[in-house]
């Protein structure tokens, strides 16, 4: 399969365009199961006819898999996106780490997020999201002090009530452990 740099350069067959339209319509309506099935059908069409993948569609499919807690499938699709695009887009790396975390692969997810913070230029909202997930991972791993630090740092970038509650919970837990 070729790397598709500009989807506008490829004119997909009418049957495939129809599948994508049905998938996107279902996604926009919130019918994720139907959208997933249509996107999967489109992928099979790509493979059967040796047509380059539509990376944007793969990104939506990976998002749907995460929404439906089909984390192993999300992980495979995100790996494919990274392979096809030839670069590690920060959003895809983040979603990959979330898929790992949801598969209870906490240590691997933690390492990926720590690398993401070091290696990529992130917006404040992205930093907050990464630090919040990192805090949750450290919590799951029993690293409560690190979790507290992650939540505190995340709050430097956002005023999220969820992160504030996560911090409060960990602080109370640490007080009980002392």
Identify the CATH number of the domain in which residue 115 sits: 1.25.40
**123 and 57, same structural domain?**
no
pLDDT in tens, 68-83: 999 899 999 988 998 8
What is the tens place of the pLDDT at every residue in 28-57?
A: 999 999 999 999 999 999 999 999 888 889
What is the DSSP annotation of 57-73?
Answer: HHHHHHHHHHHTT-HHH
Residue 101 domain flag: no
Residue 35 belongs to some domain of the structure: yes
Q: In this structure, are 21 and 74 located in the same domain?
A: yes
Is the full-model pTM beyond 0.85?
no
Query: How many domains does the chain fold into?
Result: 2
Residues 117 and 169 in one domain: yes
Give the confidence band of 7 by pLDDT, cuts at 50, 70, 90: very low
Residue 42 maps to a domain: yes
The answer to whether residue 93 is domain-embedded is no
Residue 120: pLDDT band (50, 70, 90) is confident
Q: Which domain holds residue 121?
A: 106-178
**Alpha-carbon span 27 to 29, nearest angstrom:** 5
């Amino acid at each position: 399969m070729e790397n598709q740099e500009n989807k506008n350069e490829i004119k997909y067959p009418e049957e495939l365009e129809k599948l994508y339209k049905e998938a996107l319509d279902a996604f926009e309506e919130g019918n994720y199961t139907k959208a997933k099935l249509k996107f999967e059908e489109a992928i099979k069409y790509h493979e059967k006819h040796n047509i380059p993948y539509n990376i944007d569609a793969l990104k939506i499919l990976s998002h749907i898999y995460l929404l439906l807690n089909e984390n192993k499938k999300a992980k495979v699709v995100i790996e494919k996106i990274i392979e096809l695009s030839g670069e590690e887009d920060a959003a895809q790396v983040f979603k990959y780490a979330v898929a790992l975390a949801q598969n209870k692969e906490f240590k691997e997810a933690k390492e990926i997020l720590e690398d993401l913070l070091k290696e990529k230029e992130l917006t404040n909202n992205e930093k907050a999201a990464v630090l919040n997930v990192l805090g949750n991972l450290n919590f799951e791993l029993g690293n409560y002090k690190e979790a507290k630090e992650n939540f505190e740092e995340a709050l430097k970038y956002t005023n999220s009530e969820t992160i504030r509650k996560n911090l409060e919970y960990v602080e109370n837990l640490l007080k009980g452990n002392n």
